[in-house]
Chain A
Amino acid sequence: MSQGKTLYDKLWDSHFVKSRDDGSALIYIDRHVIHEVTSPQAFEGLRLAGRDLWRKDSIIATPDHNVPTTSAERAAGVDGIEDEVARIQVKTLDDNCDEFGVTEFKINDQRQGIVHVIGPETGACLPGMTIVCGDSHTSTNGALGALAHGIGTSEVEHVFASQCLVAMKMKNLLIRVDGELGPGVSPKDVVLAIIGKIGTAGGTGYAIEFGGQVFRDMSMEGRMTVCNMAIEAGARVGMVAVDQITLDYVEGKTYAPKGEQWDMALAEWNQLHSDTDAEFDSVVVMDGAAIEPQVSWGTSPEMVQPIGGKVPNPALESDPVKKEGIERALVYMGLQAGQSIGDIHVDRVFIGSCTNSRIEDMRAAAAVVKGRQKAASVKEAIVVPGSGVVKAQAEAEGLDQIFTAAGLEWREPGCSMCLAMNADKLGAGEHCASTSNRNFEGRQGYGGRTHLVGPEMAAAAAIAGHFVDVRSF
């Protein structure tokens, strides 16, 4: 009998076009998502080589990294973007999409949003697809049971021209989280705990499948949060098998198949799970009940502690490279070894990003701040929905009113302070409770200090002015 296949094996096999003598393969790409930052040089490359798009109906575009999030600056569309360099880049995306005939949700289209939010939300990204984007958080789409990963700009051009990628098959890693999460513990806490355990290079060379009861019980939004941060564990790909939760989410989406094609799709999608006798190259097992709300204290996503924990002491680290990393992080973050996580005060709060800006995240944060007031010591707390659709839904539910009544700002959709390419950024030395994905030096602003948390924990920090355990808040 032949060996069972993993979910990744199945997706690889169904998109395999041709192998080459050297072990590399041509893999067919079903969906190509593009944004303004990593596509201009690829379009320019096509022009210089006199090439056209292989399949323009496979591409969907939207500006997200550079768009302003205040309604005042958004009002005039592209022309209203104050930063000239950013304006040129967004305009270049518009021009390229118009010239090449690519579908684009432009800046003030309600369907505009963060690429990894709008893909699943519109049904442009579906189970069983291969999905790429010039953005490392493309792994988000793996929550659909798709093979999705980030690529560089040269590869964006390669997919434009050939609809394929030259790929080497990755190894299979199963991360199984058994049991049930405790109350107040979010999907973000799960993925931060995973990264804390396996490290930022723990998944390098692997495609990760997230399995076990915790993920079976998790909503699609939660699965997207987890798959989003596979890259922070070093893996380009993070996936969850298709189940009824997936199908219920996809059904009825704008670009999801309908009628007879829905039935055909179901037959294929119902196979999108690892076979029971599939073998993984590596397996990590964790206990869901043991996971607590997490807060990152350092400058790498693996530098996390539970809310009740303390900032580590480098003197206790035996590995010299790690020890030096902790020492450098403490200096950059302005923290003391042994300091309680709950004693870290925050200057700003950011709720948003491709990790945590979907409707469920908005609801979770709103539930925490409802009827409370932002601490006076917190200079600014912004809530940035992931798309125009999320924004409209949240407003229909009155969530915007809850946020503004509590002293938080309700913004227009975009990447915003996750990477601070637009005006939303930290000042030097400021601590931020952020629902984003990276706490690298300078990531959210020159000299800024990022603490990665889930939306509930960020909301609670906005109210308390420092990190608190949302379970007893």
Chain B
Amino acid sequence: MKSFTTLQGVVAPMDRANVDTDLIIPKQFLKSIKRSGFGPNLFDELRYLDEGFPGQDNAKRPLNPDFVLNQDRYQGASVLLARKNFGCGSSREHAPWALDDFGFRCVIASSYADIFFNNCFKNGLLPVILPEAVVDVLFAEMYAEEGYQLKIDLEKQQVLRPNGDCHSFEVDDFRRHCLLNGLDDIGLSLQHADDIKAYEEKRRQTAPWLFGAL
């Protein structure tokens, strides 16, 4: 997994609450057996004026000029500013894969759905939680200033605004550690293989029906 330490980047808005993972990456693209290549179909139904299908040449599709990510001022954005309950619905990890493939490294919102939040950390994508009032301020500043950038420092757990104001955010120690160092958490868990085996042996005695053959 790629690491995340600090990021300074252009901010793009997804200014609606309850953005679901169907909206982030529609189901027809979930037929892929790969982890990559979802970027061109991120927010597909909002981004293009036609219906998207797997295997299309997306460069030839009509873009929706009203959609923010198609506007010049947000090109190259790496920070997505969003509203509450971002990433609700389906557990599809294709959602963070699509955000990452598009070029986003960080999402900022006042809250997230649990599974999406968890999936982000597995893919080097940092979901930052800030209070709703702060998110409102960021939206206002971003709309007012073309090319608006934020700096996100995971080590210090801070979001830095252009005017120098700082906002702290919380993140679990384990997730932070893995993200800062780009660690594969399967490898870390397998360091406890003896504990897992010991648990398993004990359970096999007390609950043998859990170990029956299928």
Please state if B88 and A264 are interface contacts (CB–CB under 8 Å).
Answer: no
Residue of A nearest to B116 (CB): A152
Query: Does residue B156 face the partner (Cβ distance < 8 Å to A)?
Result: no
Interface residues of B in 186-214 (CB under 8 A from A): 186, 189-190, 192-193, 195-196, 199-200, 203, 206-214
**CA of A360 to CA of B161, assembled, Å:** 56
Please state if B89 and A124 are interface contacts (CB–CB under 8 Å).
Answer: no
Q: Which residues of A lie under 8 Å from residue B203 when comparing CB positions?
A: 28
Name A's B-contacting residues (CB within 8 A).
17-18, 20-24, 26, 28, 30, 37-38, 40-41, 44, 49, 51, 54-55, 57, 59-60, 65-66, 83, 85-86, 88-89, 92, 103, 124, 126, 128-129, 134-136, 150-155, 157-158, 161-164, 166, 168, 200-201, 204-205, 231, 234-236, 255-257, 261-262, 264-265, 268, 300, 321-322, 324-325, 328, 419-421, 438, 440-443, 446-447
Among B18, B199, B213, the residue within 8 A (CB) of A57 is B213
29 pairs across A/B with beta carbons < 8 Å?
A: A17-B195, A17-B199, A26-B192, A28-B199, A37-B30, A41-B33, A41-B93, A59-B214, A85-B32, A88-B33, A89-B32, A136-B90, A152-B93, A152-B119, A155-B122, A161-B190, A162-B189, A164-B189, A200-B88, A204-B111, A204-B113, A231-B89, A234-B114, A235-B114, A264-B209, A265-B209, A420-B27, A421-B30, A442-B22
Please state if A57 and B211 are interface contacts (CB–CB under 8 Å).
Answer: yes
Q: Which residues of B lie under 8 Å from residue A40 when comparing CB positions?
A: 33
Query: Does residue B45 face the partner (Cβ distance < 8 Å to A)?
Result: yes
Residue of A nearest to B55 (CB): A85
Nearest CB on A from B186, distance (A): 5
Give me 12 other A-B pairs in contact (C-beta within 8 A), A83-B31, A154-B93, A268-B206 excluded: A24-B174, A85-B55, A103-B214, A151-B91, A152-B93, A152-B96, A152-B119, A264-B208, A421-B27, A421-B28, A441-B22, A441-B45
Query: Does residue B54 face the partner (Cβ distance < 8 Å to A)?
Result: yes
Q: Which residues of B lie under 8 Å from residue A134 when comparing CB positions?
A: 91, 93
Chain B: interface residue total (CB-CB under 8 A)? 63
**CA of A85 to CA of B29, assembled, Å:** 10
Q: Which residues of B lie under 8 Å from residue A200 when comparing CB positions?
A: 18, 85, 88
Nearest CB on B from A430, distance (A): 14
Q: Which residues of B lie under 8 Å from residue A153 when comparing CB positions?
A: 35, 93
Chain B CB within 10 Å, residue with most, of A23, A151, A153: A153
Among B31, B186, B196, B214, the residue within 8 A (CB) of A421 is B31
**CA of A220 to CA of B92, assembled, Å:** 27
Among A20, A92, A264, A300, the residue within 8 A (CB) of B174 is A20
Interface residues of B in 63-120 (CB under 8 A from A): 83-85, 88-93, 96, 111-115, 118-119
Nearest CB on B from A89, distance (A): 5
Please state if B91 and A136 are interface contacts (CB–CB under 8 Å).
Answer: yes
Please state if B92 and A328 are interface contacts (CB–CB under 8 Å).
Answer: no
Nearest CB on A from B161, distance (A): 22
Please state if B119 and A257 are interface contacts (CB–CB under 8 Å).
Answer: no
Q: Which residues of B lie under 8 Å from residue A231 when comparing CB positions?
A: 89, 115
Residue of A nearest to B177 (CB): A22
**CA of A265 to CA of B214, assembled, Å:** 17
Among B85, B123, B209, the residue within 8 A (CB) of A126 is B209
Please state if A438 and B89 are interface contacts (CB–CB under 8 Å).
Answer: yes
Please state if A166 and B185 are interface contacts (CB–CB under 8 Å).
Answer: yes
Interface residues of B in 12-55 (CB under 8 A from A): 16-18, 20, 22-23, 26-28, 30-35, 45, 51, 54-55
Please state if B85 and A204 are interface contacts (CB–CB under 8 Å).
Answer: yes
Q: Which residues of B lie under 8 Å from residue A236 when comparing CB positions?
A: 114-115
Q: Which residues of B lie under 8 Å from residue A83 when comparing CB positions?
A: 31
Query: Does residue B145 face the partner (Cβ distance < 8 Å to A)?
Result: no
Query: Does residue B57 face the partner (Cβ distance < 8 Å to A)?
Result: no
Q: Which residues of B lie under 8 Å from residue A38 when comparing CB positions?
A: 91-93
Among A88, A201, A257, A442, the residue within 8 A (CB) of B45 is A442
Please state if B20 and A324 are interface contacts (CB–CB under 8 Å).
Answer: no
Among A18, A124, A257, A441, the residue within 8 A (CB) of B23 is A441
Residue of B nearest to A28 (CB): B199
**CA of A443 to CA of B45, assembled, Å:** 11
**CA of A166 to CA of B92, assembled, Å:** 18
Please state if A166 and B209 are interface contacts (CB–CB under 8 Å).
Answer: no
Closest 3 CB pairs of A and B: A257-B209, A22-B173, A154-B122
Query: Does residue B172 face the partner (Cβ distance < 8 Å to A)?
Result: yes
Residue of A nearest to B112 (CB): A204
Please state if A442 and B122 are interface contacts (CB–CB under 8 Å).
Answer: no
Chain A CB within 10 Å, residue with most, of B85, B115, B172: B115
Q: Which residues of B lie under 8 Å from residue A443 when comparing CB positions?
A: 22, 27
